[in-house]
Amino acid sequence: MRRIGIVGAGQAGLVLAIGLRQKGYDVTVFAERPADEVQAGRLISNQCLFAPALQRERELGINFWDDEAPPIREVAFAAAGEGSEPSMAWRVGLDRPAQSVDQRVKVSDWMAEFERLGGELRLRRIVPAELDECAREFELLVVAAGRGPQFDALFPRDDERSPYREPQRAIGILYVDGKLDAVPGLTFGMSPTGEFFLLPVLSVHGPAHGIGFFGVPGGPLDVWDSVADVEQHYETARRLLRTQYPWQAALLDDARPVAPTELLHGRITPIVRHPVGTLPSGAKVLAMGDTAVTNDPVGGQGANLAARAARAYQEAIVDRGDRPFDEEFMHAAFARYWHHARPATRFNNDLLAPPPEHVLATLAAGQREPRVAHRFAHLFEDPADYEGWLDDPEAAWRYLQSGAQSVPGAGTAPTVK
């Protein structure tokens, strides 16, 4: 049995670990915290997973929450205008529902599942100096320890693939429950000052809603550094809705924070790293998930990409047969993953810049033409469609001028009534 070590028990590492265990590999996962501490800990993410990522979990039989998790069936988009009404708005169904299950729930349940399958879970926080010792024990050591800075030096920034050097959004997330007048899905509000998202979540406290604000640095949504607790966060969120997204002013009036721990503030620098690290001994290690590619959460891609990485790396490992997991193997495994991660990263990074004319025109066309809205909403699920469409102004204008229905990939789903 080939021996694989994985540093990090998160969305990426555990899905890979469980998949490999099911194929008979001898897998060890190094976890920073035991399952009960993860479950009782602070909020990690908003983790909206779209159909392809959910499909991977279903293939592995680790979709334990399908009966309880509220399905995300629609995307409702609106952009701020001059007055209190949005300048444009549309609402469209997703072909296959998305879902957000609190990562604290997932990680703790998956740790138990991994052990049930005979995997070895070692409770140990690995510092970089210990990696050589770990690498000697395994034929392949994967580092799936989330975003920096601990392993940043091992996996340097890939300048060509990383357009940003600073965080592009100030992020504030809160879990609320109560009565919310919201669509059964993802609500997405845009303004020049930043974005807000609302989505139903199955949290550690049961069904709730996650509301996230993504503020352009220095602007009116860049307020989270001085927010101390959930009550202040809740009042700040209501104020931002009134002032920045006035058509949603009353959204949180009948909602309440779920618990004092259920908030998250931060800033994330989007970055792509060189995925193969060289240890002092000369041994090589392979980065995965956020350790390899970190996106700002504005486009909801990171956990989806973690699932993609788990599939790509597993396939690469299995296809390798008995041959060594050398540097060439590691680059090839990452290339399989990058095939999916490249368009997702491009789409996500472009969302952080002020939208160019052709993107605004496409969003506006979504109001009149459901198929345009449908295609845009499905970019979150399948960002591959971004390339050759919205990343290319000429192609985007051609698409609008040609009549959306005649363009391949435009989709056929009707607007949700």
Ligand X SMILES: Cc1cc2nc3c(=O)[nH]c(=O)nc-3n(C[C@H](O)[C@H](O)[C@H](O)COP(=O)(O)OP(=O)(O)OC[C@H]3O[C@@H](n4cnc5c(N)ncnc54)[C@H](O)[C@@H]3O)c2cc1C
Tell me the residue ranges of DSSP E strands in 137-216: 140-143, 170-178, 185-191, 194-203, 206-215
Q: Which is nearer to ligand X, 28 or 367 (CB)?
A: 28
Question: Judged by CB under 6 A, which of 69, 134, 141, 171 binds ligand X?
Answer: 171
Long-range contacts: 276-281, Cβ < 8 Å, 24+? Answer: 276/155, 276/327, 276/330, 276/331, 276/334, 277/143, 277/151, 277/154, 277/155, 278/154, 279/131, 279/132, 279/135, 279/154, 280/132, 281/132, 281/135, 281/136
Q: Are 381 and 337 in contact (CB under 8 A)?
A: no
Q: Are 331 and 158 in contact (CB under 8 A)?
A: no
Question: Judged by CB under 6 A, which of 5, 13, 86, 194 binds ligand X?
Answer: 13
Site map 249..268 versus ligand X, x via CB under 6 A: ---------------x----
Q: Which is nearer to ligand X, 200 or 289 (CB)?
A: 289
Question: Judged by CB under 6 A, which of 195, 222, 290, 381 binds ligand X?
Answer: 290
Q: Which is nearer to ligand X, 300 or 366 (CB)?
A: 300
12 is a contact residue toward ligand X (CB under 6 A): yes
Using alpha carbons, list the distances in angstroms from residue 361 to 45, 181, 197, 253, 369.
31, 28, 21, 33, 12
Site map 101..140 versus ligand X, x via CB under 6 A: --x---------------------xx--------------
Question: Judged by CB under 6 A, which of 62, 173, 312, 359 binds ligand X?
Answer: 173
Question: Minimum distance between the CB of residue 13 and ligand X, rounded to whole angstroms?
Answer: 5
30 is a contact residue toward ligand X (CB under 6 A): yes
Pairing status of strand 88-100 against strand 72-79: antiparallel
Question: Minimum distance between the CB of residue 182 and ligand X, rounded to whole angstroms?
Answer: 16
Q: Are 386 and 347 in contact (CB under 8 A)?
A: yes
Question: Minimum distance between the CB of residue 313 and ligand X, rounded to whole angstroms?
Answer: 12
Q: Which is nearer to ligand X, 43 or 416 (CB)?
A: 43
300 is a contact residue toward ligand X (CB under 6 A): yes
Cβ-based burial of 1 (10 A; exposed 0-12, middle 13-18, buried ≥19)? exposed
97 is a contact residue toward ligand X (CB under 6 A): no
Window of 7-15, 332-340, 346-354, 387-395 that interacts with ligand X by CB under 6 A = 7-15
Query: What token pair was written down for 363?
Result: 């969003």
3 state SS of 205:
coil
Q: Which residue has the tokens 């469609």?
A: 385
200 is a contact residue toward ligand X (CB under 6 A): no
7 is a contact residue toward ligand X (CB under 6 A): yes
| Nearest partner of 104 among 172, 11, 178, judged by Cα | 11
Q: Which is nearer to ligand X, 210 or 370 (CB)?
A: 210
Residue 99 to residue 9: CA distance in whole angstroms: 21
411 is a contact residue toward ligand X (CB under 6 A): no
Window of 40-48, 253-261, 352-360, 371-379 that interacts with ligand X by CB under 6 A = 40-48
Residues that bind ligand X (CB under 6 A): 7-13, 30-33, 45-48, 103, 125-126, 144-146, 150, 171, 173, 264, 289-290, 297, 300-304, 306
